[in-house]
Structure 1
Amino acid sequence: MSHSLPTLAPPLCRVRQRRLLDLMSARGIDRVVVVTPEHVQWLTGFRPHRLMSAAVSLDVDGRCVLSAPNTIPGDVAADEMVTFEAQRLATLRQDQPAAAIEALARATGPAGSLRLGVEGSALGPALCRLLGVTDPDRLEDVEADLQRLRRKKESDELAMIRHAVAATEAMYAAAREVIAPGVSELTVFSRLHAAAVEVLGEPPTALGNDFCCGSPGGPPRPRAIEAGELYILDLGPGYRGYHADNCRTFAVNGAPTDVQQQAWEAIVPVLRHVEATVRPGVSCRRLFEDAKRMLDEVRPGGFFHHLGHGIGLYPHEAPHLNPNWDDVFEEGDVFTAEPGLYGDDLRGGIRLEEDYVVTATGVEKLTSFPLEL
């Protein structure tokens, strides 16, 4: 394993800041303040510890100020950095968000006369008052805008995601070695976690949700897996906040039944259809409908969830391959496609999931582990 692990690049953080600045100029917003770890990281490259807070201010003139816990971080995209006490004699403070905002406000000055963009779900009235804003008419919720801007992944973000995807490849290789009748689901989970740590070079910031055998999904149990079952492993390791999310299915005894193999043979063409169809401007809803139609021809009602979703700093981002949204693919999207079929006779079901990035002319597949049962 290389000792040089991927990280966000300050020059590309400045690119992301400029994309937000363009939105601010168009909307007449003087300053944006963010406090969620995802947006602090996305804008500056600084990822706070999961038990610590941080805050960032970006003015329409381009000045970026970071309020960080305890010490000044290095190699981040900020014009000024201030700190606040996140701990006292190693005890974590529970009022860190207020402390981070107070330190930021001292550095930037009161925002009372400014039009302020905030994350509506995170920066409530109490924190806004610490910024000097008491008039709610001066606040504009830009959270959805930030999430939309995050869809386009720069090269440093893609490197982070690729590193997380590499962890899934090692996890599936470990699964091939450990899965056998009589092995505990918790043993499988532990082996996969160890494989992810070894490849990532540090503990993952997420691991995924589905480690439950003979079932469409769920957490691992202290239960022995059985011959004849199918084991769906839907893995979502996070590397410094950036998620992979892909899925493979394994026959516990290495010998799928005819019914299981037939279901597998119906699912793989859906992935090939995704790869042949997706390009900028294609409807995600239409793609879902195509997949549903293809799978219902084989097993009516056997496919009952979304076809996929975007990934990045959150496990489920836009674009949504889901009929409840009406998204279209855009260049720079990173997304998953995860067709599946389920039924009692399949002993758990089959789900196969790949990760892709949308290019100007189609898609590039980020995952490479074999699909076979």
Structure 2
Amino acid sequence: MSHLYEPLTLDLDYCRQRQQRLLAVMERLDIQRAVLFQPEHVQYFTGFRPGGLLNAAVSLDADGHCLLVAPNNAPEHAAVDEVVTFEAQWHCTLRQDQREAIAAILRTAWSGRSAASRVGVEFANTGRHLDPLFADIAIVDLEPELWDLRRAKDPDELAMIRRAVACTEAMYARAREVIEPGVTEIEVYNQLHAAAVEVAGEPLTGFGNDFQCNSPGGPPRNRAAEAGELFVLDLGPGYRGYYADNCRSMRVGATINDEQQHAWQAIVDVLQMVEETVRPGLSAQKLFHRAQEMLDEYRTGAFFHHLGHGIGLFPHEGPHLNPHWEDTFAVGDVFTAEPGLYGPELRAGIRLEENYVVTETGVERLTGYPLEL
């Protein structure tokens, strides 16, 4: 089967707009230069995603000049003013000192530009390879600001997420075909991976999360499904760096019991509440507590995890539908809602998860595969 869709790339105009938003952050923090190594941020701001185990970096100066240091060859599709390449492989062998090679290139490139007294970086990526770059320079952690910038998804990012969602819907359709008593979790996993790749038309950049039967979730096992059990399929494929994350629970065999039907309806009611309630400015923490109250009516303790989270270039982003965060929903947020109920009477649980984008007046649901068990 050939893939169903044409390949997608990030729009270079939107990449430039994202650079402008970062420049505004830099001005507010009195930062003259930002240097970013995380592949998610390189892609977010330039449209170029380094493949596999290859490293890259982007340097953005306060005057708007954007430099990309790319492995091996200059990309054809990148929203930058300058590209410098380095040999990430020698005679086909990956170099272990790619970051050091990038740092040397940046040091040379910066020597011809205005000096920067304050530089923004991702503290998670500041290792010894950066020490020579920042001698006598103040460094500022940009990661909290970058996570905040990434919350509001641009149309090109939404297109990527929709493609990842399309992968999940093909996976659920395949699951309906193959799940029956005796099928192993590993076989279901393999079949679902193949279905997603058919839609993506290329290798996935991520593939999770839960593929277990008679369990709240987990990686696939060499275990055969039994009639009356439920598969929890919480699927998080990545398409060119962007994730979907949604869940369906599917029966093994022809029937479900009364407890399973009761729990399913309680979970569906929570999803309906989410769709009717979420607006810009709403507390995600309060939404969690409302869902907890509703699910506790089934049985206290049967719902024991978060209600959901944002998705994008990372499986868990803001907003966090979780009692440990005090986030509020904002226009452009793409988030999941994943109420669940668990117990031996359910063989062993049901979780249903939808993906949404927050609009000016409410939410748009991105997922469309039926919720039935």
Q: Bin the TM-score by the shorter chain.
A: over 0.9
What do residues 335-373 of structure 1 show as CA deviations (whole Å, max 9, x unaligned)? 000000000111120000000000011000000000000
What do residues 129-178 of structure 1 show as CA deviations (whole Å, max 9, x unaligned)? 232x1236x11001110011000100000000000000000000000000
1:286 and 1:13 mapped to 2: Cα distance? 34
How far apart are 1:302 and its partner, in Å? 0.3
- Tell me, yes or no, if the aligned pair for 2:212 and 2:221 is still in contact at 8 Å: yes
Question: Which residue of structure 2 lines up, in the alignment, with residue 202 of structure 1?
Answer: 202
| Equivalence map 1:115-134=2 (5 Å) | 115-124=118-127, 126-131=128-133, 133-134=134-135
Match of 1:77 among 53, 74, 79: 79
How far apart are 1:4 and its partner, in Å? 2.5
- Tell me, yes or no, if the aligned pair for 2:122 and 2:142 is still in contact at 8 Å: yes
How far apart are 1:113 and its partner, in Å? 4.5
How far apart are 1:270 and its partner, in Å? 0.3
Question: Which residue of structure 1 lines up, in the alignment, with residue 323 of structure 2?
Answer: 323
1:188 and 1:86 mapped to 2: Cα distance? 37
Ranges in structure 1 where 5+ consecutive residues have no aligned partner? none
- Tell me, yes or no, if the aligned pair for 1:98 and 1:130 is still in contact at 8 Å: no
Question: Which residue of structure 2 lines up, in the alignment, with residue 290 of structure 1?
Answer: 290
How far apart are 1:2 and its partner, in Å? 5.0
Question: Which residue of structure 2 lines up, in the alignment, with residue 185 of structure 1?
Answer: 185
Of all paired residues, the percent bearing the same amino acid is 61
User: Cα–Cα, structure 1 residues 295 and 174, in superposed 2: closer, same or farther, change >3 Å?
Assistant: same
- Tell me, yes or no, if the aligned pair for 1:210 and 1:220 is still in contact at 8 Å: yes
| Equivalence map 1:336-355=2 (5 Å) | 336-355=336-355
2:115 and 2:131 mapped to 1: Cα distance? 9
2:98 and 2:132 mapped to 1: Cα distance? 13
- Tell me, yes or no, if the aligned pair for 1:82 and 1:104 is still in contact at 8 Å: no
What do residues 281-324 of structure 1 show as CA deviations (whole Å, max 9, x unaligned)? 00000000000000001111100000000000000000000000
- Tell me, yes or no, if the aligned pair for 1:246 and 1:338 is still in contact at 8 Å: yes
One-letter identity of the residue aligned with 2:10: L
Question: Which residue of structure 2 lines up, in the alignment, with residue 48 of structure 1?
Answer: 50
| Equivalence map 1:260-275=2 (5 Å) | 260-275=260-275
1:235 and 1:15 mapped to 2: Cα distance? 31
Question: Which residue of structure 2 lines up, in the alignment, with residue 67 of structure 1?
Answer: 69
- Tell me, yes or no, if the aligned pair for 1:329 and 1:358 is still in contact at 8 Å: yes
1:105 and 1:3 mapped to 2: Cα distance? 42
- Tell me, yes or no, if the aligned pair for 1:66 and 1:104 is still in contact at 8 Å: no
1:197 and 1:85 mapped to 2: Cα distance? 30
One-letter identity of the residue aligned with 1:353: E
2:318 and 2:139 mapped to 1: Cα distance? 25
One-letter identity of the residue aligned with 1:35: F
Give the superposed CA RMSD: 1.2
Ranges in structure 2 where 5+ consecutive residues have no aligned partner? none
- Tell me, yes or no, if the aligned pair for 2:357 and 2:364 is still in contact at 8 Å: yes
Question: Which residue of structure 1 lines up, in the alignment, with residue 41 of structure 2?
Answer: 39
- Tell me, yes or no, if the aligned pair for 1:165 and 1:367 is still in contact at 8 Å: yes
1:213 and 1:60 mapped to 2: Cα distance? 53
How far apart are 1:112 and its partner, in Å? 6.5
Question: Which residue of structure 2 lines up, in the alignment, with residue 135 of structure 1?
Answer: 136
User: Cα–Cα, structure 1 residues 30 and 80, in superposed 2: closer, same or farther, change >3 Å?
Assistant: same
- Tell me, yes or no, if the aligned pair for 2:236 and 2:246 is still in contact at 8 Å: yes
Question: Which residue of structure 2 lines up, in the alignment, with residue 366 of structure 1?
Answer: 366
One-letter identity of the residue aligned with 2:340: G
How far apart are 1:207 and its partner, in Å? 1.3
What SS is found at the alignment partner of 2:15? Answer: helix
List 4+ stretches of structure 1 deviating above 6 A. Answer: none
- Tell me, yes or no, if the aligned pair for 2:210 and 2:232 is still in contact at 8 Å: yes
Match of 1:95 among 94, 97, 107: 97
Q: What TM-score results when the alignment is normalised by the length of structure 1?
A: 0.97
User: Cα–Cα, structure 1 residues 3 and 219, in superposed 2: closer, same or farther, change >3 Å?
Assistant: closer
